[in-house]
Every structure is written in structure tokens, then in C-alpha cells.
Chain A
Amino acid sequence: DIQMTQSPSSLSASEGDTVTITCQASQGIKNYLNWYQKKPGKAPKLLISDASNLRVGVSSRFTGSGSGTHFTLTISSLQPEDFATYYCHQYGSLLYTFGQGTRLELK
């Protein structure tokens, strides 16, 4: 299985800040990468697919980029509702796998 390594594992930021989360794949996966937002008690929410395709209804403050093995998720102008845990998820190779998550906390 492809291993996905996210960094950092946690991040403290203030409202209005811009933050970037990185995801590294153990093998090339082209652009077959999703980003999910997870809040306690809720199902994961798909934010970005195909590494950079913003899903319908998702704020344009979220931007994804990358291909091959290196990917980033940038969240600009942080809002209160953005403080959550974020996961990258590769679907370039079965079995699809998640990164270990990045917890974004309010400073």
C-alpha cells in the first residue's frame, strides 16, 4: 500500500492567518489525491479532489496543488469554522490510503 505522510501533525494559527499542510506519497500517484476536513462527531467532508479541484460548495479559501509525490493544501484567511483536522487521501493505487492527519487549532 502507498504510505501518505502529512506534515505538520498539528498546527496552531489565528483567524485570518494562511496555513499550508503538506502531504508526501511513498510512490507517485499522479494527481489522484483528495483532501478531507474532519470535525468531531461529523463525517469527513471532501474539500478537494484530483489534487486541485475544489468541490462544489467549498470555500475558495481552500487551495490544493501538487502532483506525483508532493502535495499541499493551503487555507487562506482562516475562519472559525476552519479549525478542524485535515487528511490527505490517495486513490492512485488500491488500497486507497489516508495521511495521518493535521490538526488545525486556534492559537
Chain B
Amino acid sequence: GNSVTQMEGPVTLSEEAFLTINCTYTATGYPSLFWYVQYPGEGLQLLLKATKADDKGSNKGFEATYRKETTSFHLEKGSVQVSDSAVYFCALSDLRAAGNKLTFGGGTRVLVKP
């Protein structure tokens, strides 16, 4: 079956530090890949996505590249801000499944200190 593994948190950084959150996946076929973010007290929001190999998704200074050869979709940001403190979820959708049900990783909590 499909699965997503992401690094456990919490990840604690200082403002302006470089952030990487590792995400690897197992899937039958070629899924679409997503990063969702959950800010404190808010619902899940899509951060970025990539739908085929070598695609790069980007938004709000975050980037992730769909790497089929390593089955990875690592999230990066060059200079984090306090406002980036949140829980980040990597997810995939199965091309061969009906609809677009998402399989999520366990989430990585990021805390950025001023």
C-alpha cells in the first residue's frame, strides 16, 4: 500500500535559519505529492504540490522537488521566520485510486525562535 514517512519533530530553529524537512514515500504508480501546513489554531492548508517527476512546487519561499529516483519530496526554505512555526504534513495521492484520497505522513512540528 501507499505510505509517507517524514522526519519526526519537533524541529527548533532560529529566525533566518535554513529549514529542511525530509519526506519519502512508497506508492504504486506515480502519485501527486503535496505539502500541507497547519498553523496554530487553524485548519490544514495546501502549501505546495508537484504532480510529476522533477516538478518543483514552490510557495511562500518554500520549495520541494518531486524526485522519483529517490522517492522523495523534501521541503526546504532558505530563511525561516517566526510565522513559519507550524506543523507540516507531506502527503500523496494515488493516481490509480478513485478520487483523490490523500495519504499523509505523521507531521513535523517546526518551532522558529526569534
Q: Does chain A bind chain B?
A: no
Contact surface of B with A, Cβ cutoff 8 Å: none
